[in-house]
Structure 1
Amino acid sequence: MPELREMMVDQLKDAFSAEKQAIQALRRAMRKASEPQLKQGLEAHIAQSEEQRDRVEQALDKLGARPGRKVCEAMRGLAEEAQHELEEYEKGPVLDLVIVAAQQRIEHYEIAAYGTMVELSKAMGETEIADLLAKTLDEEKAQDGLLTEVTRSAILPAALEMEQAA
């Protein structure tokens, strides 16, 4: 099992880097958002992501590892793409939609990563790690749902109204 353990440590280091980058992306997005529900949701998700980053560190600790300097290249790409998109639109409903789209791409990446890590840690008999990561996986899925809900209830109607007025 040393190879699986090594893979798990590598995945956790990647997740730690991803959470750090996601927090930075969330902060940038929050500054640009105009819909109050979206701003509140992003702010709450920053705090939640900080807890998630800490959970990943706890999981690494349980495996006798440290986060190190590994950079999650996938999250780097998602964050850079989001940053470029933030610069292309004026503040308002359309930019809010761009923010949601970028955040949901990030959430979906995290859901995939945590889903794999939960199953791997269960298979390895690392139930404490599986429980830590399953909590994060549930939070990521819930955040994705919240983003969809605020889009449906507030952002899309405002964007459509703006489009019709133009």
Structure 2
Amino acid sequence: MAKRVKKKRATSRRTRQPKKLSDLFHETLKDIYFAENKIIKTLPKMAKAAHSRELANAFNKHLRETHGQVKRLDQIFRMLGKPARGKTCEAINGITDEGAEIMRDFKGMPALDAGLLSAAQAVEHYEISRYGTLRTWAEELGMTDAAKLLQATLAEEEATDQALTELATSVINLEAEEEEVSEAA
């Protein structure tokens, strides 16, 4: 009887289709596609909530870039011969939920913009991670054109992250602290 169980397990392993790097690439592409489309819905809300005109402008600039990034993803899906479709990404849902919580909890408060900026950078770091991985996989899979498109998006995400860091350290965080100190005095 023990032999039958072993044979059954071995048979089920053989009939199961192995998943390859190309499958993982496609699944991760669907993940980031969902994320980018979620970000397109979220950025206008963040821009509207921001007190700082500079921060609102940064969000609006990134919104325009994100539309272009989705177009690049559409191109990659076409290269794969697959429909451009996202799959729910719980990670980006969690990050954007945290951003919504900051908007709710800090509405009208001096630290709102610092919180919005922090939430935006959490999104950027997630995107940088995904695009870096996808670009590397595309290179390993011999998908040179896809790798170039992913690198272009990765460069934009890294530039946005750097711009947000500069905005945080030169203006936003300082203003949040100054307003809190002046309110306490």
Partner-residue secondary structure (3-state), 1:65: coil
- 2:81 aligns with 64
Unpaired runs of 5+ residues, structure 2, are 1-17
Once the two structures are TM-superposed, the CA of residue 2 in structure 1 deviates from its matched residue by 7.1
Aligned length: 166
Q: Quick check: 1:97–1:151 contact (8 Å CA) kept in 2?
A: yes
Write out aligned runs for 1:68-83 (5 A). 68-83=85-100
Partner of 2:133: 116
How do residues 8-87 of structure 1 correspond to structure 2 at under 5 angstroms? 8-87=25-104
Deviations 1:70-105 (A, max 9, x none): 111211111111111110012354100000110000
The answer to whether 1:155 aligns with 2:168 is no
Larger relative contact order (C-alpha < 8 A, sep ≥ 6)? 1
CA RMSD of aligned residues (A): 1.5
Q: Please give the alpha-carbon distance, in whole angstroms, between the structure 2 residues aligned to 1:93 and 1:108.
A: 25
The answer to which of 78-87 and 107-116 deviates more is: 78-87
Amino acid at match of 1:102: A
Distance 1:142 1:92 in 2: 28
Identity of aligned residues (%): 33
Structure showing greater radius of gyration is: 2
Q: Which range moves more in the overlay, 125-134 or 90-99?
A: 90-99
* Alignment partner, residue 90 of structure 1: 107
Letter aligned with residue 84 of structure 1: E
Structure-1 separation of matches of 2:34 and 2:97: 14
Q: Which stretch of the first structure deviates more once superposed, 45-54 or 89-98?
A: 89-98
1:92-123 deviation digits (Å, cap 9, x = unpaired):
54100000110000000000000000000001
Match of 1:140 in 2: 157
Structure 1 stretches of 4+ with a deviation exceeding 3 A read: none
62-71 or 122-131, which deviates more:
62-71
Return 5+ residue gaps in structure 1 as ranges.
Answer: none
Whether 1:6 aligns to 2:17 is: no
Instruction: State the SS of the aligned residue for 2:51.
Output: coil
Greater shift after overlay, 150-159 or 64-73? Answer: 64-73
- How far did 1:67 drift? 2.4
